[in-house]
Amino acid sequence: MARIEIVPSILSADFTCIEREVKKAQDAGADRIHCDVMDGNFVPNITFGPLMVEAVRRCVTIPLDVHLMIINPMKYVNDFCNAGASILIVHAEVCDVPLIAATIRKNNVRPAVSVNPDKPTSLFLPYLNTVDQVLIMTVFAGFGGQKFIPEMLDKIGEVRNEAARRNLTIDIEVDGGINDKTAEECAGRGANVFVAGSYIFGHGDYEARIGAIRTAAGRGRERLGHEI
């Protein structure tokens, strides 16, 4: 099975001291840092662009997981790859998945795909062989601090089953309302990468919070192993 990874999202970090925040998360055991890019069109919120990604890249040595919640991701692929993205996530609702995945890979960056909770996995499952990761949104893209949508657990299972059927090795990431309880549920369906924002950055002990998610995901994985 793919390794469990915990990925703090800077959407919930204190932007007045972002260097301290991401370094603290890295020192606390984070496996990646998650950067949510929003354009005010695909989602109602606006966050930041390549310059912020570039700044975060200079602060940490762990990979950057960059999630493009924007209308025209192809237009900005090169910019975010050059800014330091390690994994670049695009939404299947607004792009040609095989084409953009190939463009991302040409930049020596790992391509990933996602859809909003109200969109079907059929938008990307036919192209599962072109990406390295699928992000299952367990809330609607756009804002942090939302409540986990339990119906998305079935989507995690759909992706896991299809990847197994086709003998593909991919990461299954989840984002939205992830904590020490929901992480166990998601891992029990096949997720191995866990994005958490307010659960980590909203509290003082980052190491304890990251460890709690990792432990919970381990319990879920044990249950999954018994079912396979």
What is the CATH number for 74? 3.20.20.70
Q: What integer pLDDT is reported at residue 1 of this predicted model?
A: 67
Domain membership of residue 215 as a residue range: 5-227
Q: Which amino acid is at 58?
A: R
**Angle between helical axes of 206-227 and 18-27 (0-180°, round to 10):** 50
pLDDT tier, 226 (very low <50, low <70, confident <90, very high otherwise): low
Count structural domains, the chain.
1
Classify residue 125 as exposed, middle or buried by CB count within 10 Å of its CB (0-12, 13-18, 19+): middle
Chain-centroid distance of CA 13 in Å reads 16
C-alpha torsion 37→42→44→45, nearest 10: 10
At 86, list the tokens. 């390690």
List, for residues 10-68, the tens digit of each pLDDT value. Answer: 999 999 999 999 999 999 999 999 999 999 999 999 999 999 999 999 999 999 999 99
Give the number of other Cβ atoms within 10 Å of residue 23's Cβ. 15
C-alpha torsion 163→96→121→183, nearest 10: 70
Q: What integer pLDDT is reported at residue 70 of this predicted model?
A: 97
Q: What integer pLDDT is reported at residue 227 of this predicted model?
A: 62
Q: What integer pLDDT is reported at residue 225 of this predicted model?
A: 72
Active site residues: 36, 175
Type and span of the H or E element at 201? helix 198-201
Please report, for residues 82, 132, 162, 190, 218, the alpha-carbon distance to residue 224 in angstroms, rounded to integers and kept in the order given: 38, 21, 16, 7, 10
pTM of the shown model: 0.96
CA distance 173 to 7: 9
Which alpha helices (DSSP H) does 84-121 contain, by range?
97-106
Gyration radius of the chain's alpha carbons: 16
Instruction: Report strand pairing: 193-196 vs 33-38.
Output: unpaired
Q: Considering the chain, what is the average pLDDT of its residues?
A: 95
pLDDT tier, 202 (very low <50, low <70, confident <90, very high otherwise): confident
Q: What integer pLDDT is reported at residue 118 of this predicted model?
A: 95
List, for residues 130-180, the tens digit of each pLDDT value. Answer: 999 999 999 998 776 678 999 999 999 999 999 999 999 999 999 999 999
Cβ(53)–Cβ(79) below 8 Å: no
